[in-house]
A = this chain, B = another copy of it.
Amino acid sequence: MLTSANIPDNHPRAKSLLERERLVEGFRKGLVVPEGLIAYGRGEAFDYIIGGRTEGFAQKAIRAAAAALLMAKKPVISVNGNVAALLPEKVVELAKTVGAAIEVNLFYRTAERESAIAEVLKESGAAEVLGVGKNASARIPELMSERRKVDPRGILVADVVFVPLEDGDRTEALRKMGKTVIALDLNPMSRTSIAASITIVDNVVRAIPLLVEEAKKLRHSGNLRNIVDFDNEKNLQEAMIHVARRLENV
């Protein structure tokens, strides 16, 4: 079986291999689909290229995201299988810190997965999880995938939506609905990254805990509006330059 016992201690990627086990465990519990494992692998590659650290451009975006979530009237955190498998406690902590609702939203939606994900979030302290079963009764216009199914009390009426590990289609559709979209994507060139209002180019495992810390720091700040004033295009360019430099100097 695929436990840490099989990974030789002297393997240079031992840490990364151990980290993956959480996701594979989430897969065994029915939270994660095979496509989610593939998507995680894509993220690993981009994280490797970025350098495996939270860079300045990510820190700036995290600060703007924390302020946007704190200022929002109806903020919602959209959770998929990978996020639920990797760090459910931090998602719940973020929701509590900024006063956001949590909603399940899946590209490959089944009743079993929805329930498994909602259960993990509740075990991690969530009082309520939106978007499960019949509650995902509203539809996002112009979106064809299962991602279009949303909760009329959640994403449908949200002013700010945080979408870690997202696909580009939905980000674009949510933006067309006039919402502020905060994306978390390791690829600064993805459609998601380009379409979002605030894009955090970082690993979800590093960025969400930092977002919680930043929200706690800013919670009582009187200056949120200035912090939210954020040039996403300029910040993404910084991320792209960083990536190009990393590759030149390897």
Chain A residues within CB distance 8 Å of chain B: 2, 6-8, 10-12, 17, 20, 23-24, 27, 33-35, 37-46, 48-49, 108, 144-146, 168-169, 187, 189, 191, 240, 243-244, 247-248, 250
Known: A37-B41, A45-B46. A244 touches B240 (CB 8 A): no
| Residue pair B41, A2 in contact (C-beta under 8 Å) | no
Closest residue to A10 on the B side, CB-wise? B144
Q: How far is the CA of A7 from the CA of B39 in the complex (A)?
A: 16
Known: A35-B2, A42-B45, A250-B189. A145 touches B8 (CB 8 A): yes
Which chain B residues lie closer than 8 Å to A248 at the CB level? 240, 244
Q: Given A38-B38, A42-B44, A244-B244, 6 more contacts at CB 8 Å?
A: A41-B42, A43-B45, A44-B45, A48-B187, A189-B250, A244-B248
| Residue pair B189, A2 in contact (C-beta under 8 Å) | no
Most chain B beta-carbon contacts within 10 A, residue among A8, A168, A191, A240:
A8
Most chain B beta-carbon contacts within 10 A, residue among A7, A11, A191, A247:
A247
How many copies the complex holds: the figure is: 2
Which chain B residues lie closer than 8 Å to A23 at the CB level? 34, 38
Q: How far is the CA of A33 from the CA of B168 in the complex (A)?
A: 28
12 contacts between A and B (CB under 8 A): A2-B35, A6-B145, A7-B145, A12-B191, A24-B34, A38-B40, A39-B41, A41-B42, A42-B48, A44-B45, A48-B187, A240-B248
Distance between A229 CB and nearest chain B CB, rounded to angstroms = 26
Closest residue to A37 on the B side, CB-wise? B37
Partner of A37, one of B17, B34, B240: B34
Distance between A29 CB and nearest chain B CB, rounded to angstroms = 12
Q: How far is the CA of A169 from the CA of B6 in the complex (A)?
A: 15
Partner of A38, one of B12, B41, B191, B247: B41
Closest residue to A169 on the B side, CB-wise? B11
Distance between A183 CB and nearest chain B CB, rounded to angstroms = 16
Distance between A41 CB and nearest chain B CB, rounded to angstroms = 2
Distance between A24 CB and nearest chain B CB, rounded to angstroms = 5
Partner of A42, one of B17, B42, B108, B168: B42
Distance between A190 CB and nearest chain B CB, rounded to angstroms = 9
